[in-house]
Amino acid sequence: MIHLIEEDCKLRIGGITDMSTIDWYGNVSLVVFFAGCNFRCPYCQNSSLIPLESGEVVDLSLLEERIDSNKKLIEAIVFTGGEPLLQLDSLLCAIKLSKDKGLKIMLDTNGSIQGSLENILSTGLIDRVALDVKAPLKKELMGKVTGRPEFAVKTISSINKCLNLCKELNISLEARTTIAPGLSDDPTFIGDIAETLKDRCSVYYLQQYDNQGDILDKTLKVKLPPSKETMLKLAKIAIEKGLKNVYIKTRSDGLEKVD
Ligand code: SF4
């Protein structure tokens, strides 16, 4: 059962970006960064938002003010993090408010919290899911890339459920993998992910690891991002496995479709 706490609803957030064209391509969006994450991805650039007590607690009215002051310019809202589903009731309040304001809604999730995912997808309020598929759905690899081997089996099951549910409910789904050196840049690794995603996502983004910012694993921070050539090679593998609408995102050239 879902409870929408409309009075006295509070969100723990790391910040709000008033306008973005890159978080949901094709839409001008307001972006809300929920604080707290259950993963410890070595390449995390938002690592200051990982602790559950990070960020600041704000009233839902703050989000309403930000939506209202940007409403002529934005058409959508993106809830990202951290992991937004760790604050299910707060997220539901924010989603309902945004829907009432006429915005399209994208949920950006690491896909690991199955019960909350099922709850939120079944509301019918989500227009698009951006799902991290960080590794092939294999225990060892998923545990390594998420930094939480103890959750790997549950994460795999939850990601599978999310892919199936979005298809069943006709919710548009984009899948994303970060390509980091020595961690997720192996052709077989990407080939395995692509096999899992075939016919289950509308778009697949390969994101180049970026060593700028507050990287969680300091040994990774000193490594260079994968070359554009590597990114293209991996994208072509995904296409060979049958994925359509495959894009790479690099620091030098932004977003590019690969054919
Ligand atoms: S990169 Fe990993 S640890 Fe960082 S916010 Fe995303 S899911 Fe959490």
C-alpha span between 116 and 171 (Å, rounded) = 16
pLDDT at 2: 46
C-alpha span between 192 and 230 (Å, rounded) = 17
Q: Using only C-alpha atoms, what is the Rg of the chain? A: 18
Residue-wise pLDDT tens digits, 9-50:
999 999 999 999 999 999 999 999 999 999 999 999 888 889
Residue-wise pLDDT tens digits, 81-139:
999 999 999 999 999 999 999 999 999 999 999 999 999 999 999 999 999 999 999 99
Q: Is 5's pLDDT higher than 90?
A: no
Using CA positions, which residue lies closest to atom 4 of ligand 1? Answer: 44
Band (pLDDT 50/70/90 cuts) for residue 6 is low
pTM: 0.95
- What atom in ligand 1 is closest to the CA of residue 82? 5
| Mutational pocket test of ligand 1: of 37, 132, 179, the residue with most ligand atoms within 8 Å of the beta carbon | 37
Q: Is 219's pLDDT higher than 90?
A: yes
Distance 123 CA to ligand 1 centre (A): 25
- Any long-range contacts for 121-127 (C-beta under 8 Å, 24+ apart)? 121/162, 121/165, 121/166, 121/169, 121/171, 122/169, 123/2, 123/92, 123/95, 124/169, 125/95, 125/96, 125/99, 126/95, 126/171, 127/76, 127/171, 127/172
Distance 60 CA to ligand 1 centre (A): 24
Using CA positions, which residue lies closest to atom 2 of ligand 1? Answer: 41
pLDDT at 7: 61
CA dihedral (110, 115, 116, 117) positive or negative: positive
Distance 244 CA to ligand 1 centre (A): 26
Q: Is 3's pLDDT higher than 50?
A: no
Band (pLDDT 50/70/90 cuts) for residue 8 is confident
pLDDT at 44: 95
Class of residue 160 by CB neighbours under 10 A (exposed 0-12, middle 13-18, buried 19+): middle
Distance 155 CA to ligand 1 centre (A): 13
Class of residue 222 by CB neighbours under 10 A (exposed 0-12, middle 13-18, buried 19+): exposed
C-alpha span between 119 and 117 (Å, rounded) = 5
According to CATH, the superfamily of the domain at 10-258 is Aldolase class I (3.20.20.70)
- What atom in ligand 1 is closest to the CA of residue 38? 8
Cβ-based neighbours of 14, under 8 Å, separated by 6 or more: 33, 34, 35, 46, 48, 49, 54, 55, 81, 82
Higher-scoring residue by pLDDT: 87, 2: 87
Distance 55 CA to ligand 1 centre (A): 15
Strand partners of residue 205: 176, 247
C-alpha span between 153 and 138 (Å, rounded) = 8
Which one, of 90, 89, 107, 112, lies nearest residue 38 by Cα? Answer: 112
C-alpha span between 91 and 86 (Å, rounded) = 9
